Every structure is written in structure tokens, then in C-alpha cells.
């Protein structure tokens, strides 16, 4: 019998063009996703070198990082952003690449539109000039973020020289408690392994609690893999994956579907395969998490208090966040709530938040915005009546984009404003200079918008039952 | 890429852990479509604090940054190594780096040197004692020295070869174009393709 292999090994070997000792392996890239921000420089590099795009048919582009999420009928005010968006349009036309511009029905965050079109499939190698490319690993693909020089390399060659990373298994045993979501699970994992626990590794998420997640939940988990230091996270495909893909516009059809299914069914870690590192998480011990600091690993459960700082870096984080040890999380008031981003702006996330918001009103002191991950998600949420729930409750209902997650359009906070955010990074200045970001799940975000301070669903129910 | 064999000069004792790409180059830097000079973006928000180490005259003209673990975690933006280079830095020494950042550095010729936590502490102590102490990072012989302190560091042969010869990855890859062509022919038909636009 051949040596048992991990899911990662199988995908790596499948896409390996050459391997020579002392040199990085050369991998074939099955699909390359682009957005307006990192692509411009890459196209410029390509022109400087006088090179062409090798496979324009294996590339798509969209505008997401800095698109306005309001007034889509008006010209964009930010001239620097407009210049970059026009550059993408021009570059894609020149090099023959499919592009979904701002305002089109197919536009959206790059990591939302890949899966929703069925472009993200098991076993593929997918790259994008964005660190949250790890999202696509939820389908059993090997997907990771690359820099601008690498984007140019992929455009020119459809390949990437890569050193083979190590493997790390994160096994989540048991079942998640009822009020604990995929977002809480990944925040819990990052808290356990730390922001650099996964550096140099590709993570495979395994175990009962992972299997029980929907595709949306799996994408949330894989999305934040990079916050634990690993460039890619993977989940072996199963019926949940296949059912999600079936019938999607770019998924295989007819006989091709049958062939694909046969290949995809072999993509799992063989029994006895060895990982370089293993971590076990017990799902039943998890609770809803809120971050208190300026790294995604600085988190605590919603019912606890701000911890004592352990070092200079933590002291700096608390100072930036305007928090003191001993404060109860649920006593902390927020100025803003952001429901959106490639982590938590898919239809299931919006359903979860709307379910909490239904029949309630956003607290007067809070500005709450909902930014769907794609224009398709927006349309679906409107068709399902979710948009109406949000609007009736006092949330702003926006068009698709990265918005307040990356703070490159008008959706930014003022210094010292505090935000409960379903996004992925609570770095200093991420949502605007001096802004204070707390990462939470869509459920906690919605409940917090209503109460005006960090709250969970049970805090709202209590209120309802005592009325 | 220019050939890099040796980096000599002063070092900046930054010291912090988990310094993320959003601090190194805030997202505003990413709005620009042209590769201008990004040095004004480097640690932009932190530089507003007069106490911040980069503002201290004794560390002016430093070419090396001494940082804590996981330097460059976060985003894939190549603007982070660009901002460091444009400011005048040519190397970062830390116990560990964000994977994508480290990779980006190797593409643009910013040298990353991994040393233990104790070594970083020692180097920072030496710089605090004498801000003018000269560092020498020898890429060719994989040695870092600072005064009488000297240490070997790990650098994979391929990155070292690329750095000292200033080689372009695309040229290196296209030497194997026949292998890429061969691989491409064997890819299954069910894999997604977009229809060509032109």
C-alpha cells in the first residue's frame, strides 16, 4: 500500500509541475482571482516586462476593496479610487480578462463571488492578491493570498514557485453549543493557537463540529486561517460541499459533473497520515467570543471581563482600545455595528443577524450597517425579506463591497469610535484612524446593535419575555 | 531586482511583537495606482507620537529593523515591504515573520533574517547602549554581526541565490515552459474556465 497522505499532500501533488531539490516546487494555478487594489501594480509590472497574460480564461476580476456601498447611481467621488477602478477596467479589457465592475449584478467581494459562481471547487489551487483567499479552502481547495510580484508571476505563467509548507491538523471534537457560531469557533481556535501558531503551515480543519458546519460556516472558519498565521486552511469536501456546488453557474455539468465527483470523492486525509502539528479543540467548551485587543487572538467570551495585560504589547492594545482590566464585556457600549466582509456577509450570516434583529430597533446611539458580500447575496436577502427586517429595525442596508472591514471607502469610523464588527481584523486603524474594532459573530453584532452594548441573543430574549 | 550581498549600517530597535501590515503600510497606501514613493506611509499613525522610536534622531538613517515575533502578520499587500524599502530599510531581523510578508520581501529584495528571541533581545540591548553600533548582514555567508557579536542565520539556498544574483522569478519559471505546457494538456476538462473576452 502507498503511504497515507493528507488532503493537502494530495492537492499539492496534483498541481505539481516540477520538483527539484534545493528549489521551490512549481505549482499550476487552477484559478486566479483579482480585485482592483493589488492588480494595478501587477499589470504595470507585466507591461514593463513586455509580457502577456498566459491564461486569461483562468482569471476573473471584480471591484470590492474601495467601492462605495451607497449611491450606486452617482459617479464615484473618491478620485484616487476611481482611477484604480478604471485602471482595472482598462487592464482587463486589454488582457482579455472577465471582470465584474462596480454596479453590475455579479459584483461582490472576491471571496464571496468565487464560491457563489461555483468557480471554487475541491482540489483546485486558487490564488488571489489578498490574504483572505484562505476562504476557498472550505471546499477542499488549496487557496492562499499572494503579493503583487506573485500576481504578476501568475498572470505571466499561470504557475507559482512555492516551498512546500508543513501541515497542521485542527480537530474540533464534539458539537458546538447552540449559541456558538462558526465565527466563535474560529476565534476560539485562533485564541488557542495564537496569531502565529500556524506560520509556515497549511491547516486542515477536521472533526465532528467541522463536518456539521454549512458551506458558509466552513468559509468563515477558513477565511480567518490567516489570522492564526497559516496562509491556507482546508476542509475535506463531502456531501455538504457537493450539494452546495451542484447547479452553480461555473460548476461542472452532466458527465463532467460525474467525473469531477469521482475525483473529488478521493480528496480526504488517509487514515494514518501524519501532520507536522496537531491541535485538538473541544467544541462543547466554546462560547460566543468578543475580541478586546488589536490582534484577532486577543479575545474572551462574551460573559467575561477584560483580562490583565501580560506584556507591553497587550498594554499597548488595551490603551489603544480605551479599556481597563476588570471591565465587563457586556457593559462596554458601542458607537457602530458592522455586519459584512468576506468573513461574514454571505446569505446565512445575514439570515442569522436578521433573525436576531427581527421586531427590535437599533439603539439610537448606534450606527449599524449591513453590507452584503455580493450583489447576488443582496438580491437574495431582499427576496427573502431579510433586507426589510434590517431596514425596519434601523440598520442601513448597503450594496456589496469590503466596506468597513478594510476602511478604504467612506465607510470608516472616527477616532476612538467603538465598533462591533463581523469582519476579520481588529488591527489598529483598520476601520479608520484611531477606531476601535471588536470582532464578533453576526448574531452578537445584531444583538449588540439593539442593546447598544455587547449582548447575546439571550439578553434580547430576556427583555422580550419580561415585557 | 538588484543583487544584494551585504547590508551594512545602523539598526532601529522597534522590538514590538505582531507588528501587522496595516501599521507598516496603512490601507490608504493601497489606493495609489502608480508605484510612487511609499515612505510617508511607513508606520504613519505611530509616527504621530513624538516618542515613537522612528522619530528619534539617534536612529536616523537606520537600514535594519529589529522587531519582535510575527513581524508583518496580516494582509498580503506588497506595499508593506515597499514602504520599508522606500524609507531606507534594507533588512528586518525578527524571531518570526508573517508568511506572505516574508515571501513578498524575498520578491522585492528586502532581506528577512530570523533569529531567536534571546538574540533579538541582545541586539536591541546593544543598540540601546550604542545607537551608532554598526550591523553587518552578510547574505552570501549567512552571518549577522553587530560589534563583537556574531551569529549565523538560516536562509534557504534558493532565496540566497536569487538575492545575491538579483534574479527575476518569471524568467526562472519560464525556463520550464515546456513542463507547464505538458501539465496544462493533462488538466481535466471539468475545471472551470471563463470564456475569452477578446
Instruction: Give the mean pLDDT of A95-121.
Output: 97
Say if A195 is an interface residue toward chain B (CB within 8 Å): yes
Give contacts of B169 with chain A, Cβ < 8 Å. Answer: 149, 153, 161
* Contact criterion met (CB < 8 Å) for B188 and A259: yes
For residue A357, CA distances in Å to A448, A463, B19, B39 come to: 10, 13, 37, 45
Say if B55 is an interface residue toward chain A (CB within 8 Å): no
Does residue B97 sit in the same domain as residue B182?
A: no
- 3-state DSSP helix/strand/coil % of chain B, to nearest 5: 40, 15, 45
pLDDT for A466 equals 38
Give contacts of B38 with chain A, Cβ < 8 Å. Answer: none
* Contact criterion met (CB < 8 Å) for A149 and B157: no
Looking at per-residue confidence, does A2 or B47 come out higher?
B47
Q: How far apart are CA B22 and CA B63, in angstroms?
A: 21
Say if A13 is an interface residue toward chain B (CB within 8 Å): no
Say if B186 is an interface residue toward chain A (CB within 8 Å): no
Chain B nearest-CA distance from A20, in A, is 11
Q: Which of B26, A296, A317, B128 is nearest to A306 (CA)?
A: A317
Q: What are phi and psi of B92, to 5 degrees?
A: -125, 130
Rg (CA), chain B: 19
* Contact criterion met (CB < 8 Å) for B18 and A196: yes
Cα-Cα-Cα-Cα dihedral sign, residues A68, A74, A78, A84: positive
* Contact criterion met (CB < 8 Å) for B196 and A57: yes
Give A132-146 pLDDT, tens digit per residue.
Answer: 999 999 999 999 999
Cβ A342 vs Cβ A373: under 8 Å: yes
The 3 state secondary structure assigned to chain A is CCCCCCHHHHHHHHCEEECCCCCCEEEECCEEEEEHHHHHHHHHHHHHHCCCCCCHHHEEEECCCCCCCCCCCCCCCCHHHHHHHHHHHHHHHHHCCEEECCCCCCCECHHHHHHHHCCCCCCCEEEECCHHHHHHHHHCCEEEECCHHHHHHHHHHCEEEECCCEEEEEEEECCCCCCCCHHHHHHHHHHHHCCCCCCCEEEEEECHHHHCCCHHHHHHHHHHHHHHCCCEEECCCCHHHHHHHCCCCCCCCHHHHHHHHHHHCCCCCCCCCCCCEEEEEEHHHCCCEEECCCCCCCEEECCCECCCCCCHHHHHHHHHHCCCCCCEHHHCECCEEEECCCCCCCHHHHHHHHHHHCCCCCCCCCEEEECCCEHHHHHHHHHCCHHHHHHHHCCEECCCCCHHHCCCCCCCCCCCCEEEECCCCCCCCCCCCCCEEEECCHHHHHHHHHHCECCCHHHHHHHHHHC
Give A220-277 pLDDT, tens digit per residue.
Answer: 999 999 999 999 999 999 999 999 999 999 999 999 999 999 999 999 999 999 999 9
* Contact criterion met (CB < 8 Å) for B180 and A295: no
Q: How far apart are CA A290 and CA A416, in angstroms?
A: 18
Give A307-336 pLDDT, tens digit per residue.
Answer: 999 998 899 999 999 999 999 999 999 999
* Contact criterion met (CB < 8 Å) for A408 and B28: yes
In a domain, B192, yes or no: yes
Q: Nearest CB to A195: which of B31, B70, B188?
A: B70
The grid coordinates of residue A166 equal: 508543513
Say if B98 is an interface residue toward chain A (CB within 8 Å): yes
* Contact criterion met (CB < 8 Å) for A38 and B78: yes
Q: How far apart are CA A217 and CA A95, in angstroms?
A: 35
Say if A136 is an interface residue toward chain B (CB within 8 Å): no
* Contact criterion met (CB < 8 Å) for A60 and B30: no
Q: How far apart are CA A117 and CA A130, in angstroms?
A: 19
Q: How confident is the model at residue A463 (pLDDT cuts 50, 70, 90)?
A: low
Domain count, chain B: 2
In a domain, B99, yes or no: yes
Length of chain A: 467
Chain B nearest-CA distance from A395, in A, is 26
- Residue A465 pLDDT greater than 50, yes or no: no
Q: Nearest CB to A96: which of B27, B100, B196?
A: B196
pLDDT for A462 equals 55
Q: Nearest CB to B183: which of A23, A28, A429?
A: A28
Does residue B31 sit in the same domain as residue B109?
A: yes
Cβ A452 vs Cβ A368: under 8 Å: no
Looking at per-residue confidence, does A321 or A38 come out higher?
A321
Does residue B182 sit in the same domain as residue B113?
A: no
Q: Any idea what the CATH number is for the domain that residue B32 is in?
A: 3.20.19.10
* Contact criterion met (CB < 8 Å) for A83 and B33: yes
The grid coordinates of residue A439 equal: 470582532
In a domain, B152, yes or no: yes
Q: Nearest CB to A147: which of B30, B35, B100?
A: B100
Give me the percent of chain A exceeding a pLDDT of 70.
98
Stretch (H or E) spanning B124: helix B117-129
Does residue B134 sit in the same domain as residue B197?
A: no
Mean predicted lDDT score pLDDT of chain A: 96
For residue B166, CA distances in Å to A224, A270, A281, B107 come to: 34, 42, 45, 10
Does residue B67 sit in the same domain as residue B82?
A: yes
Q: Nearest CB to B193: which of A57, A313, A434?
A: A57
| Residue in B closest to A84 by C-alpha | B33
- A172 pairs with which residues across the strands? A281
* Contacts of B62 by beta carbon, 8 Å cutoff, 6+ apart: B9, B10, B11, B12, B88, B89
The grid coordinates of residue A61 equal: 476580476
Does residue B33 sit in the same domain as residue B73?
A: yes
The grid coordinates of residue A288 equal: 460566543
| Residue in A closest to B157 by C-alpha | A22
Domain span holding position B47 = 6-166
The grid coordinates of residue B21 equal: 501590515
In a domain, B180, yes or no: yes
Give contacts of A136 with chain B, Cβ < 8 Å. Answer: none
* Contacts of A383 by beta carbon, 8 Å cutoff, 6+ apart: none
Cβ within 8 Å of B, A 67-86: 78, 80-81, 83-84
The grid coordinates of residue B120 equal: 533579538
ipTM of the complex: 0.92
Say if A373 is an interface residue toward chain B (CB within 8 Å): no
Does residue B14 sit in the same domain as residue B81?
A: yes
- Residue A278 pLDDT greater than 60, yes or no: yes
Q: What are phi and psi of A135, to 5 degrees?
A: -50, -45
Q: How far apart are CA B36 and CA A41, in angstroms?
A: 11
Chain A nearest-CA distance from B100, in A, is 6
Q: How far apart are CA A223 and CA A402, in angstroms?
A: 14
Does residue B61 sit in the same domain as residue B158?
A: yes
pLDDT for A464 equals 47
In a domain, B130, yes or no: yes
Does residue B161 sit in the same domain as residue B172?
A: no
pLDDT for A467 equals 36
Q: How far apart are CA A132 and CA A424, in angstroms?
A: 9
In a domain, B1, yes or no: no
Cβ A147 vs Cβ B76: under 8 Å: yes
Cβ A129 vs Cβ A151: under 8 Å: yes
* Contacts of A421 by beta carbon, 8 Å cutoff, 6+ apart: A337, A338, A341, A404, A405, A431, A437, A438, A439, A440, A445
Chain B nearest-CA distance from A444, in A, is 24
In a domain, B139, yes or no: yes
Does residue B156 sit in the same domain as residue B177?
A: no
Does residue B185 sit in the same domain as residue B125?
A: no
Say if A37 is an interface residue toward chain B (CB within 8 Å): yes
In a domain, B44, yes or no: yes
* Contact criterion met (CB < 8 Å) for B194 and A427: no
Q: How far apart are CA A429 and CA A294, in angstroms?
A: 9
Cβ A232 vs Cβ A124: under 8 Å: no
Per-residue model confidence as pLDDT tens for chain B (198 residues): 789 999 999 999 999 999 999 999 999 999 888 888 999 999 999 999 999 999 999 999 999 999 999 999 999 999 999 999 999 999 999 999 999 999 999 999 999 999 999 999 999 999 999 999 999 999 999 999 999 999 999 999 999 999 999 888 898 899 999 999 999 999 999 999 998 654
Q: How far apart are CA A247 and CA A253, in angstroms?
A: 8
| Residue in B closest to A296 by C-alpha | B74
Give A328-378 pLDDT, tens digit per residue.
Answer: 999 999 999 999 999 999 999 999 999 999 999 999 999 999 999 999 999
Cβ A36 vs Cβ A66: under 8 Å: yes
* Contact criterion met (CB < 8 Å) for A157 and B174: yes
Cβ within 8 Å of B, A 396-415: 406-408
Does residue B110 sit in the same domain as residue B175?
A: no
Give contacts of A28 with chain B, Cβ < 8 Å. Answer: 180, 183-184, 187
Give contacts of A82 with chain B, Cβ < 8 Å. Answer: none
Q: Nearest CB to A157: which of B74, B158, B170?
A: B170
Q: How far apart are CA B103 and CA B112, in angstroms?
A: 9
**Residue pairs between chains A and B whose CB atoms are closer than 8 Å:** 202
Q: How far apart are CA A303 and CA A292, in angstroms?
A: 13
Buried b (16+ CB within 10 A) or exposed e, A9-23: bbbbebbbbbeeeee
Single pTM value for the model: 0.95
Amino acid at each position: 500500500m502507498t503511504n497515507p497522505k493528507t488532503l493537502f499532500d494530495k492537492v499539492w501533488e496534483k498541481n505539481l509541475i516540477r520538483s527539484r531539490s534545493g528549489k521551490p516546487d512549481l505549482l499550476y494555478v487552477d484559478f486566479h482571482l483579482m480585485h482592483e487594489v493589488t492588480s494595478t501594480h501587477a499589470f504595470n509590472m507585466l507591461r514593463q516586462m513586455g509580457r502577456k497574460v498566459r491564461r486569461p480564461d483562468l482569471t476573473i476580476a471584480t471591484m470590492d476593496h474601495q467601492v462605495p456601498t451607497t449611491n450606486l447611481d452617482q459617479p464615484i467621488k473618491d478620485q484616487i479610487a476611481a482611477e484604480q477602478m478604471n485602471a482595472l477596467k482598462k487592464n482587463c479589457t486589454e488582457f482579455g480578462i472577465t471582470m465584474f465592475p462596480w454596479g453590475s449584478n455579479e459584483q461582490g467581494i472576491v471571496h464571496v463571488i468565487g464560491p457563489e459562481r461555483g468557480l471554487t471547487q475541491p482540489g483546485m489551487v486558487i490564488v488571489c492578491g489578498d490574504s483572505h483567499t484562505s476562504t476557498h479552502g472550505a471546499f477542499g481547495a488549496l487557496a492562499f493570498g499572494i503579493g503583487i510580484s506573485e500576481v504578476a508571476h501568475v498572470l505571466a505563467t499561470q504557475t507559482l514557485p512555492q516551498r512546500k509548507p508543513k501541515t497542521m491538523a485542527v480537530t474540533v471534537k464534539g458539537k458546538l453549543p447552540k449559541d456558538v457560531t462558526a465565527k466563535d469557533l474560529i476565534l476560539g481556535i485562533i485564541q488557542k493557537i495564537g496569531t502565529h501558531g500556524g506560520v509556515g503551515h497549511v491547516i486542515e480543519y477536521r472533526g465532528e463540529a467541522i463536518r456539521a458546519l454549512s458551506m458558509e460556516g466552513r468559509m468563515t472558519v477558513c477565511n480567518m486561517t490567516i489570522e492564526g498565521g497559516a496562509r491556507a486552511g482546508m476542509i475535506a469536501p463531502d456531501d455538504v460541499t457537493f450539494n452546495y456546488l451542484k447547479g452553480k453557474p461555473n460548476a461542472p455539468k452532466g458527465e463532467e459533473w460525474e467525473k469531477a465527483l469521482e475525483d473529488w470523492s478521493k480528496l480526504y486525509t488517509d487514515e494514518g497520515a501524519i501532520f507536522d502539528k496537531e491541535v485538538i479543540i473541544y467544541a462543547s467548551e466554546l462560547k460566543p467570543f468578543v475580541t478586546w485587543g488589536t490582534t484577532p487572538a486577543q479575545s474572551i467570551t462574551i460573559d467575561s471581563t477584560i483580562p490583565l495585560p501580560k506584556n507591553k504589547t497587550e498594554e499597548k492594545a488595551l490603551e489603544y482600545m480605551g479599556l481597563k482590566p476588570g471591565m465587563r464585556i457586556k457593559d462596554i457600549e458601542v458607537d457602530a455595528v458592522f455586519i459584512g466582509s468576506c468573513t461574514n456577509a454571505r446569505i446565512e450570516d445575514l439570515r442569522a443577524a436578521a433573525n436576531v434583529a427581527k421586531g427590535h430597533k437599533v439603539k439610537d446611539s448606534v450606527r449599524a450597517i449591513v453590507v452584503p458580500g455580493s450583489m447576488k447575496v443582496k438580491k437574495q436577502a431582499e427576496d427573502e425579506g431579510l433586507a426589510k427586517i434590517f431596514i425596519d429595525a434601523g440598520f442601513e442596508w448597503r450594496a456589496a463591497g469590503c466596506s468597513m472591514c478594510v476602511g478604504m471607502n467612506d465607510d470608516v469610523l472616527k477616532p476612538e469610535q467603538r465598533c462591533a464588527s463581523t469582519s476579520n481584523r481588529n488591527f489598529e486603524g483598520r476601520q479608520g484612524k484611531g477606531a476601535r474594532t471588536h470582532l464578533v459573530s453576526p448574531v452578537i453584532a445584531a444583538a449588540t446593535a439593539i442593546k447598544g452594548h455587547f449582548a447575546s441573543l439571550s439578553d434580547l430574549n430576556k427583555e422580550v419575555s419580561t415585557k | 531586482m538588484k543583487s544584494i550581498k551585504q547590508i551594512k549600517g545602523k539598526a532601529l530597535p522597534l522590538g514590538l511583537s505582531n507588528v501587522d501590515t496595516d501599521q507598516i503600510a496603512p490601507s490608504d497606501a493601497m489606493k495609489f495606482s502608480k508605484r510612487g514613493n511609499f515612505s510617508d506611509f511607513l508606520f504613519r499613525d505611530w509616527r504621530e507620537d513624538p516618542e515613537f522610536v522612528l522619530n528619534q534622531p539617534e536612529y536616523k538613517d537606520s537600514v535594519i529593523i529589529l522587531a519582535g515575533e510575527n513581524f508583518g502578520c496580516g494582509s498580503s499587500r506588497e506595499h508593506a515591504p515597499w514602504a520599508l524599502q522606500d524609507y531606507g530599510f534594507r533588512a528586518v531581523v525578527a524571531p518570526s515573520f508573517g508568511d506572505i510578508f516574508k515571501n513578498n520581501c524575498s520578491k522585492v529584495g528586502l532581506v528577512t533574517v530570523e533569529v531567536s528571541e534571546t538574540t533579538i533581545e541582545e541586539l536591541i540591548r546593544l543598540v540601546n547602549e550604542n545607537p551608532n553600533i554598526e550591523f553587518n548582514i552578510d547574505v552570501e555567508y549567512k552571518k549577522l554581526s553587530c560589534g563583537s557579536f556574531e551569529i549565523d542565520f538560516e536562509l534557504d539556498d534558493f532565496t540566497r541565490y536569487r538575492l545575491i544574483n538579483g534574479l527575476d522569478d518569471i524568467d526562472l519559471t519560464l525556463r520550464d515552459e515546456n513542463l507547464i505546457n505538458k501539465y496544462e494538456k493533462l488538466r481535466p476538462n471539468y475545471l472551470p474556465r471563463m470564456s475569452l473576452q477578446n
